[in-house]
C-alpha cells in the first residue's frame, strides 16, 4: 500500500496518473496535493457510499483552492478524461 507521503514522490513520474480527493480526511491534504501535483491531476472523489458526498465537497470548499483549481478538481479534469470537452 502506498502511504500518503509516497504519493508526492511516485505520481509526478507518471503523466497518466491522477489522485482523487476522498483519500484525504482533511482539506489541508487536498491543498498539499494540488501544490505538489497541480490541480490538473486531482479528481473529486465522493467515496460513496462510505462517505457522504457533502462531506467530500466540504473538504474541497475548505482546501483554500483558487477558483480555477476548484473548477479543475470538481469537473474539468473528469470532463477531460472522459472526453466531454
Tens of pLDDT, residue by residue over 24-68, are 889 999 999 999 899 999 999 988 788 788 889 999 999 999 999
CB atoms within 10 A of CB 72: 23
Listed residue (65, 62, 25, 13) closest to 42, CA to CA: 65
Query: pTM of the entire structure?
Result: 0.83
Distance between CA atoms of 39 and 60, rounded to whole angstroms?
12
pLDDT for 17 equals 85
CB atoms within 10 A of CB 22: 19
Which stretch of DSSP H or E encloses residue 55? helix 53-61
46, 22 Cβ separation under 8 angstroms = yes
40, 65 Cβ separation under 8 angstroms = no
Q: Decide which of 12 and 69 is more confident.
A: 69
- Is residue 2's pLDDT more than 80? no
Amino acid at each position: 500500500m502506498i502511504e500518503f507521503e509516497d504519493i508526492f514522490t511516485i505520481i509526478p513520474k507518471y503523466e497518466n496518473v491522477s489522485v482523487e480527493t476522498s483519500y484525504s480526511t482533511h482539506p489541508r491534504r487536498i491543498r498539499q496535493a494540488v501544490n505538489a501535483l497541480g490541480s490538473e491531476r486531482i479528481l473529486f472523489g465522493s467515496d460513496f457510499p462510505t462517505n457522504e458526498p457533502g462531506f467530500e465537497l466540504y473538504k474541497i470548499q475548505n482546501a483554500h483552492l483558487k477558483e480555477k483549481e476548484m473548477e479543475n478538481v470538481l469537473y474539468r479534469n473528469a470532463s477531460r478524461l472522459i472526453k466531454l470537452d
